[in-house]
Amino acid sequence: MSAEEREVFDLLVLAAIERAGEENEGPSEGREGYGGPAGSARVSSIVEHAGGPRAWRFERSGYPTEREVRPACKRLVREELAVEYRPKYSSIHYGLTPAGDERLAQLAEDGAPVELPESPARRRWREWREEAAAELDGLRERVREAWRRCEPMADAGKASELEGFAEGLHGPYLSEYATAADDLADAVRELRRALLALEQDEPE
């Protein structure tokens, strides 16, 4: 990495520290030492916001990794653009100094803001929606099929016709009706999960 490339990368990391820190409100009362102060972020979170993998063991070629981001954070500390925190019961956190804030603000004012990739929150939202949309038709069919298997219970004319269902609920083995009822409940839960994913508002 050339000196120019390193400078560009360090600015990317600086912006990633800022965005990652926005998610951290600091330790709750009585939990001091279990995390960095509000506005700071651990390295793994900074890596994610810089566009890197979600964990070091899932590193992808061409993306920022923890092995690259950690030295960049230390360089930013030496340049007094970032500050390092060492919580007693947590991993190292980094936050911006006033000079770091001013550097990013100046770049934005000059019309050359640091452009970060899609945020982790939006990526998870998008992937969840895509997965839910792909599964929706299959989940609806699962509900319909389970309901068809349960319909005979609604058409019962005598109590004796539901004995198998009652025994299935309380006995050591599930009856065919009880299994169908369980399948229907599971299918409805999965369908609800998918619909909730599609109804979620896009994160900022």
Each residue's pLDDT tens digit, 24-68: 888 877 777 778 888 999 999 999 999 876 544 444 555 788 889
204 located within any domain: no
36 located within any domain: yes
57 located within any domain: yes
pLDDT tens, 124-146? 899 999 999 999 999 999 999 98
Identify whether residues 128 and 110 lie together within a single domain.
no
Identify whether residues 22 and 101 lie together within a single domain.
yes
pLDDT tens, 87-102? 888 889 999 999 999 9
Residue 176's pLDDT is 65
A 10 A CB-CB count for 84 gives 14
Identify whether residues 97 and 15 lie together within a single domain.
yes
Residue 51 — left, alpha, or beta (φ > 0 → left; ψ -120 to 50 → alpha)?
A: left
Which of 60, 83, 117 is where one domain is finished?
A: 117
Q: 5-9, 80-84, 157-161: lowest mean pLDDT where?
A: 157-161
Range of the domain at 193: 121-199
Identify whether residues 16 and 80 lie together within a single domain.
yes
Q: Report the domain count for the chain.
A: 2
The pTM of this model reads 0.69
Q: Say how many residues make up the chain.
A: 204
Which of 58, 89, 117 is where one domain is finished?
A: 117
Identify whether residues 96 and 141 lie together within a single domain.
no
Which DSSP symbol is given to 37? Answer: P
